[in-house]
Each structure stands twice: as structure tokens, then as C-alpha cells.
């Protein structure tokens, strides 16, 4: 016997004049449309909605839920069940206990929901059952003005900052993303998609959660990480799939030598994609590598084919407005312009080139450089596998904030790395200290949280 959802739990009114805005279908497409897939087959829209209904009635009363699901399909079910209860999804930048505790402290009227036996167990943790029950009922609807999620910045430049997103904002940005992917998607058919980025990250949310919900896309239920696992997930797709990934994961794939099945294309974001890597991936896999530009604050707003072009093409309706402290982004899905720290140069045709970030610009002893360019020169040294330059917060005895570096280079010592750097950068920008480490503390999307970098430097010293 199917459970009955108490109407008081369902916040989505069918009245367009209600304060929540207009009502719309929570999931796009026909009931039999593929929404997810995996080694066990395909899950259609009707089955997905049945599991969302059943989960919604079991959720505790609260204002927010911290969505910690690892499995992408279960993340989708939890996301929509939480929304069905009129609660907001909190999407922390990682599942690290300290990060989760920080989010819970900011939003005390909340609980955690996940699909793993986490250790340590997060406070107020609801674990999804192994078998998700199902409830029959009418197609689910949502209201455009309702809050769906609060995403947090990665913390690469400081404390993670919250960014609230409504259904309407996500519907508009998803329509933009469908334009950004354009000819990589199958015409009049479902496109199968595999993603290596976590769904809690805004890029993962946009490309692997909202596209299946609101567009003609079916997503792989799992989140493969290692090259062999990525190849197996791609092989589950009945037609050539789209791979959504990051530069870190893409480099690991190219260098692994693992064979992949035919692809519809590759999408990359979260960090600048090196031209050499884009060319290598296109050559190896015989498909286009399309890089998208966005942030937690803005969502995706531009695209380019990195192997062939340096300039970014804004999506329809997007305006790029440089200003002294960065660049203002105007977009249809943004309620107001968002100012990014990136310094952009707009060309006559509206396309733009990124020249760096305001926070990356350095001035020492009257000389100027950028952290991004210094890091690129560090990575160009033969034998350096990974590395990062950053400016210390504390000033030295002369009032100068020095540059430091963490480097992964098993075959080199610190002195030889510094000697190689002297060939390409001014001595005032040589990193002091420079420390070799086994691996950089990158998060799941390949970014380097500032606190983790500083902690590693302290430990290395």
C-alpha cells in the first residue's frame, strides 16, 4: 500500500498567483524518459518520482538538509525529496567533518542526509535505505521562487561563502547550459552523461543534476574517479556519452593510457584547462573538448573550444563588464550583476580573454607578476608533476609578503627546482620557502583550499 504525503508537507502550490511564483514540472520529459543509468540499467522519470515521494514523507522537520550523498542518483532523489518538504539543500564543498560541522553551525535548523556509513558520523544524520521505496502519485511540481539549494565556494581564497539558488535561477541557467553544450547533445534524443565531479559542487550540480532534471539528459548513477572506473561507467551508456570532468581528472585519463569508448564530447571546468591538455585529449579521444566558464556565484556563463581558441564566447544575454576591482557579470539567470575577481579584456565582438585575478597580481620591489603565471612556469619545469605558488599572509621584517610554493617532483630536489625557476622568473618572485611534498591537498574538483595549503606548508617546514 502506498504512503500518502500530507499536503501540509508539500510546499508547491498549483496556484500561479501564490507567493512561491509559478508552478512547473519538477522533472522534464515523458514518464518513460531515461533520467539515470548505470550497470543495473536505466531509471525512468516515473520511477524516480516514485522514490522521491516515498523518501519525502520520512524526512524530519527542519529548514535545511545537508546533502552528503556520494551516489549521484541518490543525491538526485534526496535533493528533490528535501525540496518537496519545503526545505533547502545545503551543499558543502566537501564531506570533511570540520566542513560539515561549520555548515551545521551556520544553519542550526538542519540535519544531514547521505547514503554512506560515514565515520565519524555527522550530527543528526539520516542514512538512505539500501532499497529506496516507491510511492505512486501525480507528477511532481515545484514553484519557481522556491529555494532549491545553497552552494558554497570552494575555499580556495578563504572561508567558503554561501550562495542561495532558486528553482527559477537554475531553470534559466540550465537553459543556458543546454545552449553552451549545443551540438554535443543528441538531437531529439536523450544524451547519456558521465561526470567525475561531485554533485555538491556547483559545476557538478549544473551539469550532472539539473541537466537530467530539466533537460533531455540521463546521468550515470555513480561518480567514477579513477581512469578505469571512468571507462567502465562510460561503457554503461547505450549511445556515445558526454564526459563532464575537470582538468585534473582529464590529465589522469590521458596519461593513464586507459581506452575509452566513443564519446559525444568532453566538458571541462573548475580550473583553467591547459591548451596542450585540450589538444592531447581531442587527439586521443577523437571528440571536442569544450571548456565552460563559471563560478559558484554566477553558474556557467561562457564557453570555448580551448584546443583552438583563447577567447571565451558569452552565452546569450550575458554581458561582461570590466571594472577596476574585477569584472561584473550580467546574465539572465542572475537577479543582479555579480562581480568576479577575474580581470577580463573584452574584444570588439563581445568575446573576452581572462588576464588573471586581481588577488593574483603581485608587486614586490616595484616589480609585478601574477601567481597564475608563476605557477605555470613552475609546472613547465621538467620533472615537476604538480605544484602551486601562493603569497604568504604574514609580512617579513621588511614588510614584504613573500611567495611560497608546494611542489610534487619526486626526481628533483628543492635546490634544482629553484635553479630552474631562476631561468624564467625575476629573483624577487622566487618562492621562499619552496617545499617538496608527495601530493598537493586538492579537493574533489582539483582545487586547493587555502587552509589546506597553509597547513601543508606548516607541516613541511
Strand 338-340's sheet: what is its strand order? Answer: 319-323, 326-330, 338-340
The pTM of the full predicted model, rounded to 2 decimals, is 0.83
CA-based nearest residue to 296, from 106, 169, 454: 169
Quick one: pLDDT band at residue 96, thresholds 50, 70, 90?
confident
Other CB atoms within a 10 A radius of the CB of residue 58 amount to 13
Per residue in 238-250, pLDDT (tens digit) is: 999 999 999 989 9
Helix (H) or strand (E) holding 76: helix 72-84
Alpha helices (H) along 112-239: 167-181, 202-205, 211-214, 227-235
Query: By three-state DSSP, how is residue 408 classified?
Result: strand
Looking at the chain, the whole-number percentage of residues with pLDDT higher than 70 is 93
> Burial level of 87, CB count in 10 A (0-12/13-18/19+)?
buried
**Helical packing angle, 45-56 and 72-84, nearest 10°:** 60
Radius of gyration of the chain measured on its C-alpha atoms: 23
CA-based nearest residue to 148, from 216, 213, 244: 213
pLDDT of residue 155: 63
Q: d(Cα 306, Cα 268) in Å, to the nearest integer?
A: 10
Residue 133 has pLDDT above 50, yes or no: yes
pLDDT of residue 24: 94
Quick one: pLDDT band at residue 11, thresholds 50, 70, 90?
very low
CA-based nearest residue to 24, from 203, 177, 123, 148: 148
Identify the weakest region by mean pLDDT among 5-19, 58-72, 84-98, 184-198.
5-19
Q: d(Cα 381, Cα 159) in Å, to the nearest integer?
A: 32
Per residue in 263-319, pLDDT (tens digit) is: 999 999 998 899 999 999 999 999 999 999 999 999 999 999 999 999 999 999 999
Q: d(Cα 205, Cα 173) in Å, to the nearest integer?
A: 11
Per residue in 406-417, pLDDT (tens digit) is: 999 999 999 999
Residue 372 has pLDDT above 90, yes or no: no
User: Grid coordinates standing for 211?
Assistant: 541537466
Show the domains of the chain with their CATH numbers. Answer: 7-309 (3.40.50.12780), 365-460 (3.30.300.30)
pLDDT of residue 9: 30
Per residue in 389-440, pLDDT (tens digit) is: 988 888 776 677 889 999 999 999 999 999 999 998 988 889 989 999 999 9
Residue 245: partners with Cβ closer than 8 Å, 6 or more residues away = 195, 196, 197, 230, 253, 266, 267, 268
CA-based nearest residue to 38, from 330, 264, 236: 236
User: What single-letter DSSP state applies at residue 140?
Assistant: P
Other CB atoms within a 10 A radius of the CB of residue 91 amount to 27
In the predicted model, what is the mean pLDDT of the chain?
Answer: 90
Per residue in 203-258, pLDDT (tens digit) is: 999 999 999 999 999 999 999 999 999 999 999 999 999 999 999 899 999 999 99
Query: By three-state DSSP, how is residue 431 classified?
Result: coil
Amino acid at each position: 500500500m502506498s504512503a500518502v504525503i500530507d499536503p501540509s508537507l508539500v510546499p508547491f502550490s498549483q496556484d500561479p498567483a501564490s507567493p512561491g511564483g509559478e508552478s512547473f514540472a519538477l522533472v522534464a520529459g515523458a514518464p518513460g524518459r531515461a533520467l539515470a543509468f548505470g550497470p543495473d540499467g536505466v531509471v525512468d522519470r516515473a520511477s524516480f518520482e516514485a522514490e522521491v515521494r516515498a523518501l519525502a514523507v520520512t524526512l524530519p522537520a527542519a529548514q535545511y538538509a545537508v546533502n552528503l550523498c556520494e551516489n549521484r542518483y541518490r543525491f538526485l532523489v534526496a535533493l528533490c525529496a528535501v525540496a518537496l518538504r519545503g526545505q533547502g539543500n545545503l551543499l558543502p564543498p566537501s564531506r570533511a567533518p570540520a566542513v560539515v560541522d561549520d555548515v551545521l553551525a551556520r544553519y542550526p535548523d538542519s540535519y544531514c542526509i547521505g547514503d554512506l556509513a560515514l565515520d565519524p558520523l555527522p550530527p543528526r544524520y539520516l542514512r538512505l535505505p539500501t532499497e529506496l521505496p516507491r510511492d505512486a502519485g501525480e507528477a511532481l511540481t515545484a514553484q519557481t521562487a522556491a529555494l532549491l539549494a545553497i552552494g558554497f565556494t570552494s575555499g580556495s581564497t578563504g572561508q567558503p561563502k554561501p550562495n542561495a539558488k532558486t528553482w527559477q535561477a537554475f531553470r534559466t541557467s540550465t537553459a543556458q547550459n543546454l545552449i553552451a553544450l549545443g551540438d554535443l547533445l543528441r538531437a531529439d534524443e536523450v544524451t547519456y552523461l558521465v561526470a567525475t565531479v561531485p554533485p555538491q559542487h556547483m559545476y557538478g550540480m549544473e551539469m550532472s543534476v539539473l541537466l537530467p532534471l530539466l533537460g533531455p539528459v540521463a546521468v550515470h548513477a555513480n561518480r567514477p574517479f579513477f581512469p578505469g572506473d571512468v571507462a567502465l561507467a562510460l561503457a554503461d551508456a547505450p549511445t556515445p556519452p558526454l564526459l563532464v570532468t575537470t582538468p585534473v581528472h582529464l590529465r589522469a585519463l590521458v596519461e593513464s593510457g586507459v581506452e575509452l569508448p566513443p564519446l559525444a564530447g568532453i566538458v571541462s571546468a573548475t580550473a583553467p584547462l591547459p591548451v596542450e591538455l585540450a589538444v592531447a585529449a581531442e587527439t586521443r579521444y577523437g571528440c571536442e573538448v569544450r571548456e565552460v566558464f563559471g563560478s559558484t556565484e554566477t553558474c556557467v556563463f561562457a564557453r570555448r573550444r580551448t584546443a583552438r581558441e583563447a577567447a571565451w564566447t558569452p552565452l546569450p544575454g550575458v554581458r561582461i563588464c570590466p571594472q577596476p576591482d574585477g569584472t561584473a557579470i550580467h546574465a539572465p539567470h542572475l537577479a543582479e550583476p555579480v562581480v568576479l575577481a577575474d580581470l577580463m579584456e573584452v574584444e570588439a565582438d563581445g568575446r573576452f580573454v581572462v588576464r588573471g585575478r586581481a588577488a593574483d597580481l603581485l608587486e614586490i620591489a616595484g616589480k609585478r607578476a601574477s601567481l597564475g603565471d608563476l605557477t605555470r612556469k613552475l609546472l613547465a619545469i621538467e620533472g615537476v608533476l604538480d605544484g602551486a605558488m601562493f603569497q604568504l599572509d604574514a609580512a617579513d621584517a621588511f614588510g614584504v609578503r613573500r611567495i611560497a610554493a608546494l611542489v610534487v617532483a619526486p626526481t628533483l630536489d628543492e635546490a634544482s627546482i629553484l635553479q630552474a625557476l631562476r631561468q624564467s622568473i625575476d629573483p624577487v618572485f622566487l618562492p621562499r620557502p619552496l617545499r617538496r611534498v608527495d601530493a598537493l591537498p586538492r579537493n574533489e574538483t582539483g582545487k586547493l583550499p587555502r587552509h589546506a595549503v597553509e597547513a601543508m606548508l606548516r607541516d613541511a617546514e
